[in-house]
Amino acid sequence: MNAAPNALPAEATMTRGLAGVTAGRTAISSLAGELRYRGYSIESLAQASDFEDVAYLLLHGELATKKEHDAFVGRIRDSATSLDKTLVQSLTLLAQRQSSASPMDALRSGISILGQIQLDQTPGIHALLIAQAERLLGETPSMLAAWMDASSNRPIAPWPNAPLAESLLARLTGRQPSQSHIQAFGTTLVLYAEHEFNASTFAARTVVSTGSDMHSGVTAAIGALKGPLHGGANEQVLEQLSEIGSVDRAEAWVSEQLSAKRVIMGFGHRVYKDGDPRAVLLGRMCRSLVQGTDGERLEDLADTIEQLMLQRKGLRPNLDWPAARIYHALGLPIRVFTPIFVVARMSGWTAHIIEQIGDNRLIRPMSLYCGESPRDFVSLETRSASGASCF
């Protein structure tokens, strides 16, 4: 039998899950050695900047001057306060139809609706793409808050006149947050903002590499982030901690999960095999937030699980492990944990979409075929049942 003319070369290799594969170039962030956004260390950004400062850096490539920063904050607030009425009506109708739907589904649908209302600038002039990204940065948190109101059958409250971290926290908790709470929440947004070729960002880049538009790329990214092996892990972390309940049950619970070969959420990482530096940074904030409250019991439990995971599997926490505990300490409901990740990662996604559009080549890898050898077609009348699988 002759080889098909377009077959893979005999020496072709395949890596499951593209682990360790360098799939493209980016100037937005780097994980080599330490995590940096546009060259700035994540430690310095987490300590000294706010979410808008980081989002501006990711999108525009440089730190903003005070004047640029204030204007950027204003533009994001304007987008948040002027959410499209058709979008709000659609979300309200969807909430009436299915109020228990995940807010991740609401965001995915909402971004898609926005894509239909606002005509995408694709292939786009750079400045128009930036403007579109800035609009999404304001619309997404406002949409999340609107959905939470609509799905709880409350009137949709106005967006506050404050920076994004403070406004979103106030909208989602229904009260004015303290400075320490705003600070902790803002730090999670900075740390969630960007992480090079993670699954959702890669999904977004793949979509726009076909010549498609920003809203389509972001819609795909939200779908990818929803999964529990990616952004969905932060909600599962708290579900798991609640299920275990107390320190005395921790050891038996971990043993049971590991012997059943179940993954424990908030541990392990595709890239960081010696621990996620973002988890270390955020982990330090967890205990101080709950000092002197009942929340210390959850921290004791989290410490115990961490020790057990290190002893049993050599695995350390990823960012979702402390982020879930911070969100819980701030009084946020579990179902908004992953949507908050969307709000933050919108900055990274849109920066990557613009980078991909600016230097595009279609993303189209190849596969290693593992199916049947060539065989003759059998007519419908003479077929018998059969099945084939790679696994």
Catalytic positions, please?
269, 320
Nearer to ligand COA by Cβ, of 84 and 253: the residue is 253
Helix-helix angle 337-358:214-226, to 10 degrees? 140
Residues comprising the chain, all counted? 391
Closest CA to 163 of 68, 52, 63: 52
Q: How far is the CB of 263 from ligand COA (least distance, A)?
A: 4
From the list 374, 371, 353, 390, the residue with the least C-alpha distance to 120 is 353
- The answer to the question of residue 269 lying near ligand COA (CB under 6 A) is yes
Binding mask 181-220 for ligand COA (x = CB under 6 A): ----------------------------------------
Residues 318-347 touching ligand COA, rule: CB under 6 A, are: 318, 320
317: phi then psi, degrees, rounded to nearest 5: -70, 150
Min separation Cβ 67 and ligand COA, Å: 36
Name the residue nearer to ligand COA (CB basis): 262 or 284: 262
Q: Which stretch binds ligand COA (CB under 6 A): 104-112, 175-183, 213-221, 263-271?
A: 263-271
Strand partners, 317: 267
Does residue 264 bind ligand COA (CB under 6 A)? yes
Nearer to ligand COA, 196 or 320 (CB): 320
**Exposure of 359 by Cβ count < 10 A (0-12 exposed, 13-18 middle, 19+ buried)?**
exposed
Q: Is 60 in the site for ligand COA (CB under 6 A)?
A: no
Among 270, 280, 295, 310, binds ligand COA (CB under 6 A): 270
If one asks whether residue 238 binds ligand COA (CB under 6 A), the answer comes out as no
Nearer to ligand COA, 266 or 322 (CB): 266
How far is C-alpha 99 from the geometric centre of its chain's CA atoms?
A: 23
Q: Closer to ligand COA by CB, 84 or 303: give it.
A: 303
C-alpha 241/C-alpha 235 separation (Å) is: 10
277 binds ligand COA (CB under 6 A): no
Q: Which stretch binds ligand COA (CB under 6 A): 137-145, 158-166, 183-191, 312-320?
A: 312-320
Secondary structure string (H, E, C) spanning 151-210: HCCCCCCCCCCCCHHHHHHHHHHCCCCCHHHHHHHHHHHHHHCCCCCCHHHHHHHHHHHC
Nearest-approach distance from CB 315 to ligand COA, in angstroms: 5
37: enclosing H helix or E strand: strand 36-37
Q: How far apart are CA 162 and CA 158, in angstroms?
A: 12
